[in-house]
């Protein structure tokens, strides 16, 4: 497992080198869209083809939704005295997790492909929080005073290729329907590219250029995320009556970094994009080493 993490670190470092010397921001964004819309959906199809659906799996998206709603409400309370723009920018960074680009490659490398079914189920709940709740917060507190557009939130969910694939594969699994063999073979080939491409993307977006006073705000947001996430994760790990992989996935997911889509929300609603990008970079590094420590302790 430590060897796999070392390899992952080298690939992330390669991504940083590639971004610095070989490609520009536009090329990196193309790679992000490729992972989200091609290799990650292929991995979901390939993973769920081997999954026997069990009632306990339905608890994972429920945990993600309940926890996300709690963190969203907590953010609104903690930052209630801040200016409107600050309240929206900081609050939207508390709910949601980066599972597609961050968790999949590391969990697969550490726990094996069998653990991905748990991760995929948890990510279904995260999608509702990321594209619904976090978007609503960002929209409501934007400097333009934009009102929440529920129709747009629905279009975001339906426009998310991974989310649509999640729901389609889940419905097909419940109905006992399988994808055609040719599609499964093709998805298996594409799924193998998800891990290296995701790790390269993480490296491409590394950067730690902070503005005045930003480190204090970053410490406040990430301190809240990690303290509560770790406490809730450990409690659920001890209390849930399921196998160790199930409980490990819950613990791991609750200490993941915020989702990359938060950068898009910052651009759309006029928030400080530099701050959001910096916070995500710090969180990526912190979560990376935290996951390495957890996997070593729990193995």
- 186-219 pLDDT, tens digit per residue, is 988 888 888 788 778 778 777 777 666 788 899 9
36-45, 73-82, 107-116, 183-192, range with greatest mean pLDDT: 73-82
Query: Which pLDDT score is estimated for 72?
Result: 95
pLDDT digits (tens, 9 = 90+) for 259-277: 888 887 887 788 887 788 8
Tell me the C-alpha distance between 136 and 274, whole Å.
21
Helix (H, G, I), strand (E, B) or coil at 92: coil
CATH value at residue 195 = 1.20.1530
pLDDT digits (tens, 9 = 90+) for 116-142: 889 888 988 888 898 888 888 888 887
Query: Which pLDDT score is estimated for 90?
Result: 93
Residues in the chain: 299
Smallest CA-to-CA distance from 229 within 61, 77, 74 is with 74
* Cβ within 8 Å of residue 80, ≥6 positions away: 87
Tell me the C-alpha distance between 233 and 129, whole Å.
18
Query: Which pLDDT score is estimated for 33?
Result: 80
Q: How many domains does the chain have?
A: 1
Q: DSSP states of 209-268 as a string?
A: ---TTHHHHHHHHHHHHHHHHHHHHHHHHHH--S-HHHHHHHHHHTTPPPPTHHHHHHHH
Tell me the C-alpha distance between 84 and 297, whole Å.
42
What percent of the chain has a predicted confidence (pLDDT) above 70?
A: 92
Helix (H, G, I), strand (E, B) or coil at 51: coil
pLDDT above 90 (res 8): no
Q: Which residue has the higher pLDDT, 265 or 224?
A: 224
Question: Domain containing 62: what range?
Answer: 2-204+213-298
Tell me the C-alpha distance between 162 and 198, whole Å.
14
Query: Which pLDDT score is estimated for 10?
Result: 86
């Amino acid at each position: 497992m430590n060897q796999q993490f070392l390899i992952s670190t080298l690939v992330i470092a390669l991504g940083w080198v590639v971004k610095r010397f070989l490609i520009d921001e536009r090329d990196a964004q193309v790679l992000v869209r490729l992972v989200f819309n091609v290799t990650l959906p292929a991995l979901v199809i390939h993973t769920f083809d081997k999954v026997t659906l069990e009632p306990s799996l339905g608890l994972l998206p429920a945990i993600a939704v309940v926890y996300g709603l709690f963190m969203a409400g907590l953010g609104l309370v903690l930052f209630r005295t801040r200016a409107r723009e600050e309240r929206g920018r900081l609050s939207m960074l508390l709910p949601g997790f980066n599972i597609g680009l961050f968790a999949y490659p590391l969990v697969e490398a550490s726990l094996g492909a069998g653990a991905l079914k748990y991760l995929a189920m948890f990510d279904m709940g995260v999608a509702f929080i990321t594209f619904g709740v976090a978007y609503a917060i960002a929209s409501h507190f934007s400097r333009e005073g934009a009102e929440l557009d529920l129709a747009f939130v629905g279009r975001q969910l339906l426009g998310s290729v991974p989310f649509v694939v999640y729901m389609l594969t889940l419905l097909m699994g419940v109905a006992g329907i399988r994808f055609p063999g040719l599609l499964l073979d093709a998805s298996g080939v594409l799924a193998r590219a998800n891990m290296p491409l995701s790790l390269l993307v993480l490296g491409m977006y590394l950067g730690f250029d902070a503005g005045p006073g930003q480190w204090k705000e970053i410490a406040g947001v990430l301190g809240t995320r990690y303290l509560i996430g770790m406490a809730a994760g450990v409690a659920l790990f001890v209390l849930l009556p399921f196998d160790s992989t199930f409980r490990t996935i819950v613990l791991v997911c609750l200490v993941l970094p915020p989702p990359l889509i938060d950068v898009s929300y910052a651009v759309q609603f006029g928030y400080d994009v530099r701050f959001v990008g910096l916070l995500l970079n710090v969180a990526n590094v912190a979560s990376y080493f935290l996951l390495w420590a957890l996997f070593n302790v729990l193995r």
